[in-house]
Amino acid sequence: MSDQEYLLSGQVQGGLLTKPVEKPSVTAPLIFSIMAGFGALFFGFTLGFTSPIGDTMKDDLKWTSDQQSLFGSLANVGAMVGALSGGYFLDAVGRRRSILLGCVPSVGGFILVYFCKTFGAAIAGRLLTGFGVGLFSLAVPVYIAEIAPSHLRGGMGSINQLGVTTGILVAYAIGLGVSWRPLALIGACIPAILAVFTFFFPPSPRWLFGRGRQQDAAVALQKLRGPLFNIDEEMNDIENTVRQAQAAKNTSPLDVFRGGAGKAMFISGVLMLFQQCSGINVVIFYSGKIFEDAGMSNPNVPALIVSAVQVVITGLSGTIIDRAGRRALIMAAGIGMAASSAVLGYYFYEQDQHQNPNGIIAVISLVLYIFCFSLGLGAVPWLMMSEIFPSNVRGMASSISTLLNWTFSFGITESFQSLIDALTEQGVFWAYGGICLLGTIFVLLKVPETKGRSLEEIERFFAGDKTAGNQHIDGAGTGGFLVKIASCCALLYVGIILLASNA
């Protein structure tokens, strides 16, 4: 037997035969997931870029308010294009090279912004950075999901959302001390570092196997799982799934919406809608006003507080998601956000009635809302997108799901003021609270649990194999307990706030 065959069988260490280990290595997948998370860091940095420096950039370049607003929102448009084209790149050149490809417009976009003297140059730079963000928001979670061990895929998948929230915090914090041009240069450095990292990434074993490169897939998987772990079972699962996909290879784009892929697309699309229509952008938009009502006059302070809460709680979510489960976290988050939205709506109702409500109550509600969103609804839709699609359409299906997210984000942002005019502030918050409840019910009834299941088991489940490990509604264990506690706390919280408001 050759040295390579020994390595692939997981039985050689230091030239001696050794006993294979029972658990896969965590070190390599974790390191590569953190490295890939720089794409998510850039995602968050790009979103947060305009907040701390918007006014100074507007004054320096002599922009109108409409031009400033357009510059900020066009990142969404660029991200839509990046997400739509990302499905092709994921399948054609692979996950690793797609991440590398996203680094090029990301670096170039911020360089354009750094040197810009005209509105056109700034817009072109913003569109390019948005394109990179759209590609990263698709490629990074898929890559992490495909290299992570099944029992840790949730925690490692949460690195993506943790990177986004950290990027927003970094942009806010650094933006307080530097002007917009140096901040743009820092933004260009993030994808430049990521580009260097990608040369150390192993390709996705599942993508390699799907391209007929079985030996390369085995080498990549062995590198990820450790030299002493027996990868035969996982390789067999991948092989069986790929062969089934190839047997039905005469596919069209419409197959994304048929059969098991169609069921997965429906679930992922609704989760993306739930995430964006939960009111997160409105809550963050009003955070400055809420903190000001509570006595904080510096608008940068609430932005830092909100960002810091998101980072801490997203990190917490990553440590418990593989124990509590995806469904439990997202339902607990929906319950808490619904309660917080109800109280925030009541706060603005009291303001509208000239009752001078206590601003501290609104601050507590806002922080709780951000806490709950970061705990579940921020990370889980992206994680499940990377888990539930069949391998033969994963690139295109993930691309469509990501495009839906960015489209919903753009639509909610652009319609925000019209909703306020039609429903008033309190009406909008109550409407978003209702959406949170509807989303929670949808997850309860329609979303399967994927924790601890291999991507191949999940694929077989959506294809109709009910024995493939669905833990749909058991109501037991950490997850069920978490949902019950969240429900009780939400009811108690709303009751206490209402009593305090009327005292």
Span 181-203, pLDDT tens digits = 999 999 999 999 999 999 999 99
| Sign of the dihedral defined by the CA atoms of residues 198, 202, 205, 207, in that order | positive
The domain in which residue 80 lies consists of 21-201
Q: Specify whether 281 is located in the same domain as 193.
A: no
Q: Tally the domains of the chain.
A: 2
**Predicted local confidence at residue 17, as pLDDT:** 44
**Residue 219: inside a domain:** no
**Residue 472: inside a domain:** yes
**Residue 210: inside a domain:** no
Q: How far is CA 368 from the centre of its chain?
A: 20
Q: Specify whether 190 is located in the same domain as 271.
A: no
**Residue 68: inside a domain:** yes
Q: Specify whether 261 is located in the same domain as 196.
A: no
- Domain finish residue from 177, 201, 225: 201
pLDDT band at 124 (very low <50, low <70, confident <90, very high): very high
Query: For residue 503, is pLDDT > 70?
Result: no
The CA-to-CA distance between both ends of the chain, in Å, stands at 81
273-283 tens-digit pLDDT: 999 888 887 77
- The CATH number for 322's domain is 1.20.1250.20
156-170, 381-395, 486-500: which has the minimum mean pLDDT? 486-500
Judge whether 29 and 148 are in contact, CB under 8 Å: yes
17-21, 298-302, 433-437, 442-446: which has the minimum mean pLDDT? 17-21
Continuous segment of H or E residues that includes residue 135: helix 119-147
pLDDT band at 479 (very low <50, low <70, confident <90, very high): low
How far apart are alpha carbons 167 and 132 in whole angstroms?
A: 14
354-396 tens-digit pLDDT: 777 777 888 888 889 998 998 889 889 999 998 999 887 888 8
**Predicted local confidence at residue 140, as pLDDT:** 96
Q: Is pTM, for the whole model, over 0.75?
A: yes
Angle at 206 between CA 204 and CA 212, to 5 degrees: 110
Q: Specify whether 270 is located in the same domain as 161.
A: no
Q: Specify whether 194 is located in the same domain as 258.
A: no
- Ramachandran bin of 229, using left for φ above 0, alpha for ψ from -120 to 50, beta for the remaining angles: beta
- Domain finish residue from 160, 178, 201: 201
**Residue 121: inside a domain:** yes
**Residue 12: inside a domain:** no
| Sign of the dihedral defined by the CA atoms of residues 395, 396, 402, 405, in that order | negative
- List of E strands, 79-154: none
Q: Specify whether 406 is located in the same domain as 294.
A: yes
Q: Specify whether 304 is located in the same domain as 429.
A: yes
Q: Specify whether 193 is located in the same domain as 275.
A: no
Q: Specify whether 263 is located in the same domain as 185.
A: no
